[in-house]
């Protein structure tokens, strides 16, 4: 068997599995795993799906056990290094060692020092071969928000804007949008991955937006924070109550900085800014952003992306593609 190619292919499968759950696992990172038999074939894939539920490694091992394939599980490929501490779940190193796995292949190391501490040494001490850095950039890009939050203490902030042919962000009278179906789908996929939405009172009063995920299936049970910038307290209490009924958790703030600090304290990993030109422009001018996604209406809408060079992006942006950071 071509070991290097086989391992790389398995890691890419693990990445695909993790990508399906971007935004579902917060405050944990999305993680995928793939299991190989000794002959090199992939026998199972799994992912961490929600904080408090099984991590990807445990989910894969239990899946193999349930199907009667645990005895042939030779190599575990996982996008993020296994945890070696007790959190909401037991250490993944425990079940890996107990399962009889002979080799663990790691995409990238967990930026959380508490989770990563001693994991590789413990696995190797148990006689398990450990390989690191396989498809590392792709694995690193999966955890963009988690890694940034761990390394800086601040949420990742994506500013999404849409412009019509005349350069305006304001929809025509009676409409809430002017973009194509594909652009609307992109907006909802961005919303699906976010833990919080930041908007302004003007957007709410003008458009009466729902801020729910509609064009793609949302993660069951996921609640999102809704930060409303409203110094003059213009947003009606009835609108906030209706937002709660839609599954959002709204709160009023006087400034972007206040909102970001409060959301960070709540464990938010990613904020999506969906607002009008004043709020969006202020976020960009004040460098309160990591990623800008700009949709421009045309015969075929175009999508432009940019990273804030001052933000300290935790991965190599040269090989980055927006599609690879979006859930289905």
**51 and 25 Cβ atoms separated by less than 8 Å:** yes
Burial class (CB in 10 A: 0-12, 13-18, 19+), 98: exposed
Q: How many CB atoms lie within 10 A of CB 82?
A: 29
- Contact assessment for residue 109 and residue 132, using Cβ atoms and an 8 Å cutoff: yes
**Exposure of 152 by Cβ count < 10 A (0-12 exposed, 13-18 middle, 19+ buried)?**
middle
Pairing of strands 270-273, 248-253: unpaired
Cis peptide before 27 (omega within 30 of 0): yes
139 sits in which H/E element: helix 136-142
Residue showing tokens 């960070």: 264
Distance between CA atoms of residues 7 and 77, nearest Å: 7
Closest C-alpha to 101, from 67, 66, 58, 136: 58
Closest CA to 280 of 148, 158, 152: 158
- Return the beta strands (E) in the chain as ranges: 32-37, 42-47, 73-80, 103-108, 129-132, 156-163, 196-200, 224-229, 248-253, 270-273, 291-296, 302-307
* Nearest one of 97, 96, 90 to 78, comparing CA atoms: 96
- Active site (catalytic) residues: 57
- Which of 213, 216, 206, 218 is closest to 177 using CA atoms? 206
């Amino acid at each position: 068997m071509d070991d290097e190619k086989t391992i790389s292919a398995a890691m890419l499968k693990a990445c695909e599995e993790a990508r399906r759950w971007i935004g579902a696992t917060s405050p944990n990172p999305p993680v995928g795993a793939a299991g190989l038999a000794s002959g090199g074939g992939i026998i199972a894939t799994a992912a961490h799906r929600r904080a408090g539920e099984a991590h990807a490694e445990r989910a894969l091992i239990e899946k193999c056990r349930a199907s009667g394939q645990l005895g042939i599980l030779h190599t575990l490929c996982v996008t993020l290094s296994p945890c070696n501490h007790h959190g909401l779940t037991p250490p993944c190193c425990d079940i890996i060692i107990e399962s009889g796995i002979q080799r663990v292949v790691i995409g990238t190391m967990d930026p959380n020092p508490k989770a990563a501490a001693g994991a590789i040494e413990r696995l190797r001490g148990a006689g398990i071969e450990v390989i690191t850095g396989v498809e590392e950039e792709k694995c690193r890009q999966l955890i963009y928000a988690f890694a940034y939050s761990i390394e800086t203490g601040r949420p990742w902030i994506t500013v999404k804007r849409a412009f019509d042919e005349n350069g305006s962000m304001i929809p025509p009278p009676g409409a809430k949008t002017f973009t194509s179906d594909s652009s609307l789908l992109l907006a909802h996929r961005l919303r699906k991955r976010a833990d919080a939405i930041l908007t302004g009172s003007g957007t709410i009063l003008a458009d009466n937006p729902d801020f729910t995920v509609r064009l793609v299936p949302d993660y069951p049970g996921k609640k999102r924070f809704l930060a409303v910038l409203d110094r003059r307290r213009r947003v009606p209490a009835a609108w906030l109550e209706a937002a709660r009924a839609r599954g959002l958790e709204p709160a009023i703030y006087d400034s972007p900085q206040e909102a970001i600090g409060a959301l960070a304290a709540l464990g938010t990993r990613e904020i999506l800014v969906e607002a009008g030109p004043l709020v969006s422009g202020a976020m960009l001018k004040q460098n309160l952003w990591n990623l800008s996604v700009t949709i421009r209406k045309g015969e075929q809408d175009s999508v432009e992306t940019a990273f804030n060079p001052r933000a300290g992006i935790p991965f190599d942006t040269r090989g980055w593609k927006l599609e690879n950071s979006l859930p289905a």
